[in-house]
Amino acid sequence: MTRRCSRARAASTARSALPRSISGTSGLVIAEPPSVRVHGYCSEPGTGPRYGVVPREIVALSGDCGLDHSLRRKQARFMATLCRPSVSVPEHVITMEETLELAASRHADHPQLPLALRLIENTGVRTRHIVQPIEETLRHPGFEDRNKIYVAEAKARVPSVVQRALDDAELLTSDIDVIIYVSCTGFMMPSLTAWLINEMGFEATTRQLPIAQLGCAAGGAAINRAHDFCTAYPEANVLIVACEFCSLCYQPTDLGVGSLLSNGLFGDGIAAAVVRGRGGEGIRLERNGSYLIPKTEEWIMYDVRATGFHFLLDKRVPATMEPLAPALQDLAGLHGWDAADLDFYIVHAGGPRILDDLSTFLQVDPHAFRFSRATLTEYGNIASAVVLDALRRLFDEGGARERARGLLAGFGPGITAEMALGRWHRTDEEAA
């Protein structure tokens, strides 16, 4: 802890000379932001001046590209690094056996109960964690009361997860330039970002980016937006927070097979991670992209009623990896990589078929998805937090070798895929 704190204070001291906004950049050498080309469109990650002293060309960093080692090291100083995530799940646990017993007893007369039970059992989810005891979860006090529970539980649980993520990234709250908060299971305005800034002592100039409507894809989207920001401002640091209490969306009157399956699939969880513009250990992000399967916006959606969020899941959703796998292959191809020949894979585990089909269509050993499958087995589908928990498990395994190549992806409503490519980087001391 002493080493971490000393490094964080040193970083904070060094950064104190930097402006907290685009204005007031006098005294710095300004570099024009690069154009980043992904899937055929060109985006400018900043229209004004940015922090930094050299331009950052993402495509030039996609591989060795004939660059000498000294130039690669110099460029790598300005690569955004996704650091170790911190993850927490609530203390109330429900097992697969308890889920099946509840479904059988509460829906004994349901004409499709055998199918629903078989689908639930096939998820492979052994345990899930929820913010309330199951007896309270099964009651529906109304949308207003449920949302109050969401707010109270988020405020009680998120700060400690955020603090651990900051500690792991060896940063202080004063080092954070942006907070990206993703959640699709409750609603707050202002976002929890405003409360966190006040409660935890982040700077008043910290930018806020709440994302509420990308569902399970939001974890990948948060990583990509953090990457974009650090591309435009290479000295910046971004905090990502994912807070999902899926159990608060349980609707006792929804009796479709898809709803019954969801009741046995989703769990609650909180995750946080820092993307550092400079330094840090983890995945150095090199390219990101997004892909929407046309005409599938009604396949995963909320029907918002007086009783809250009613989750609708089309039976065609499990087959979506067939059209999404080529998007992953295309992104890797643009980067000069082969999606079938990477060193690690961190993907959203919406269900076992997602992972099985990815293995088939990408021609990747199923063992490559062990981190995502472990999250699904132990926690269930914790929505936007899945990719961060799967990455946490890679860290727990000791990480990957230096410069190992990997893919991250989140899948969700739209149907949307948020994808990223990067290389594993250990601390500068270890990599030297």
Query: What does the alpha-carbon distance between residue 52 and residue 72 come to, in Å, rounded to a whole number?
Result: 17
Q: In sequence order, what are the residues at sequence separation of 6 or more whose Cβ sits closer than 8 angstroms to the Cβ of residue 143?
A: 306, 307, 308
Instruction: Burial-class residue 304 by CB neighbours within 10 Å (0-12, 13-18, 19+).
Output: exposed
d(CA 295, CA 371): 31
Residues 6+ apart with CB under 8 A from 392: 84, 85, 86, 87, 271
Place of tokens 């932001």: 33
Q: Which long-range contacts (CB under 8 A, 24 or more apart) does 356-361 make?
A: 357/318, 357/319, 357/321, 357/322, 357/325, 358/321, 358/325, 361/321, 361/322, 361/325
Spatial contact of 226 and 198, defined as CB atoms under 8 Å apart: no
CB < 8 Å & 24+ apart, contacts of 225-229: 225/180, 226/80, 226/82, 226/178, 226/180, 226/275, 227/80, 227/275, 227/285, 227/288, 227/420, 228/36, 228/43, 228/45, 228/288, 229/45, 229/177, 229/178
* Three-state secondary structure call for residue 203: coil
**What's the rounded Cα separation, in Å, for the pair 203 and 21?**
11
Does the annotation count 249 as an active-site position?
no
Alpha-carbon gap, residue 223 to 178, rounded angstroms: 12
| Amino acid letter, residue 175 | D
Token pair of 248 as six digits: 């608060």
Give the alpha-carbon dihedral of 162, 164, 168, 169, to 10 degrees.
20
Among residues 184, 216, 230, 249, which one is catalytic?
216
CB-based contact 191:205 (threshold 8 Å): no
- 9-14's contacts with Cβ under 8 Å and 24+ in sequence apart are 9/172, 11/170, 11/171, 11/172, 11/175, 11/279, 12/171, 12/172, 12/174, 12/175
**What's the full length of the chain, in residues?**
432
Which residues carry out catalysis? 216
